[in-house]
Amino acid sequence: MDDIQSISLSRKNEPIELEHGSLFFIGTATVLLKYAGFTILTDPNFLHQGDRVHLGYGARARRLTNPAAELENLPPPDLILLSHLHEDHFDRLVARNLQKTIPIVTTPKAAEGLSKMGFQVTHPLKTWQTLNFERGNSTLSVSSMPGRHAPGRLAPLLPEVMGSMLEFKNAAGDVLIRLYISGDTLYYDQLKDIPWHYHDIDLALIHLGGTRIFGLLVTMDARQGVEIIKLINPRKAIPIHYNDYTAFKSPLADFQCAVVDKGLQDRVHYLYHGDTYTFEVPSSRRQLAKA
């Protein structure tokens, strides 16, 4: 593994809250995460109902929902976390309107594409590589997790994808919150390495949808979504990336039934567009947040 790079962010003129944080669900895979002095925007997609996206090789999808907020009305993010460069994760409005100097953490291939669009600060990560962001006494470690967007012979035709592990740490380097984001992956064997490297995961954002291209599954459906929760074993899992595009063939209702069938109701929290989930540091680490 390469040496871990660290990037210092300018200080904000406001106190840094370490005991609580929030997740604001905008729609599809787009979430605004605020914690420990960091503001992070994931997979920015702000197209509206009826707009279409290109998924490559002639495949298209139509958006069925509206985002819960507009890009220009959000607080300025410190960084963008991008699973991969598909238009339902980084749309043409974002490519045109997002500030070109904002840091974007993504795959090496997506970083190349973003550079061609004029984005000046891309941070490509290979699987298991880590990048640190520092602000005051807080550190955010972003590590690239395994991901596979398509099965078999279709795999080379779709973009490489990454999941992400976010670890928020205090001045002493103690992890206060550990959050996993699946990205647009299918459930496959390499995901089993994640709990071997990381245990005690607090939150997980699970990309669902059961997206199908040319009839083949390219994101997790209800069954695979339940399997990854059992594998990663987070304290709380939150499904995202569902019901937003015509290419999504596995509705949230299917996942909800699968969760009940496996007795995981107390492990899953559902967010709908515009909902905010407030989380707190587990009691076992509460004193570390106050130190």
Walk me through the domains of the chain, giving residue ranges and CATH numbers: 5-10+18-290 (3.60.15.10)
| Spatial distance between the Cα atoms of 184 and 207, rounded to a whole number of angstroms | 6
Reported confidence tier of residue 8, pLDDT bands at 50, 70, 90: confident
Q: Convert the pLDDT of each residue in 129-138 to its tens digit.
A: 999 999 988 9
Average pLDDT, the chain: 93
Q: Convert the pLDDT of each residue in 196-246 to its tens digit.
A: 999 899 999 999 999 887 788 899 999 999 999 999 999 999 999 999 999
**What's the whole-number mean pLDDT along residues 43-70?**
91
User: Phi-psi category of 43—alpha, beta or left, where left has phi over 0 and alpha has psi -120 to 50?
Assistant: left
User: How does DSSP classify residue 254?
Assistant: H
| Spatial distance between the Cα atoms of 124 and 15, rounded to a whole number of angstroms | 31
Q: Which residue in 291, 34, 285, 290 sits closest to 176, CA to CA?
A: 285
pLDDT at 1: 47
Reported confidence tier of residue 286, pLDDT bands at 50, 70, 90: confident
Q: Which residues contact 109 (CB under 8 A, 6 or more apart)?
A: 84, 85, 159, 160
- pLDDT(2) > 60: no
| Spatial distance between the Cα atoms of 272 and 243, rounded to a whole number of angstroms | 10
pLDDT at 184: 95
Q: Convert the pLDDT of each residue in 107-158 to its tens digit.
A: 999 999 999 999 999 999 999 999 999 998 899 999 999 999 877 767 677 7
Reported confidence tier of residue 69, pLDDT bands at 50, 70, 90: very high
**Residue 209 in contact with residue 248, Cβ under 8 Å?**
yes
Reported confidence tier of residue 54, pLDDT bands at 50, 70, 90: confident
Looking at the DSSP assignment, which residues form a beta bridge with residue 181? 164, 205
Q: Convert the pLDDT of each residue in 73-117 to its tens digit.
A: 999 999 999 999 989 999 999 999 999 999 999 999 999 999 999
List the single range of 2-6, 50-54, 182-186, 239-243 with lowest mean pLDDT.
2-6
Q: Which residues contact 272 (CB under 8 A, 6 or more apart)?
A: 25
Reported confidence tier of residue 253, pLDDT bands at 50, 70, 90: very high
Q: Is pLDDT larger for residue 172 or for residue 2?
A: 172
Greatest alpha-carbon span in the chain: 54
| Spatial distance between the Cα atoms of 213 and 217, rounded to a whole number of angstroms | 7
| Spatial distance between the Cα atoms of 140 and 81, rounded to a whole number of angstroms | 12
- pLDDT(35) > 70: yes
**What's the whole-number mean pLDDT along residues 178-183?**
98
The kind and range of the H/E element at 264 are none
| Spatial distance between the Cα atoms of 153 and 230, rounded to a whole number of angstroms | 28
Report, in angstroms and rounded to the nearest whole number, the Rg of the chain calculated over CA atoms.
Answer: 18
Reported confidence tier of residue 167, pLDDT bands at 50, 70, 90: very high
pLDDT at 17: 85
Looking at the DSSP assignment, which residues form a beta bridge with residue 60? 54
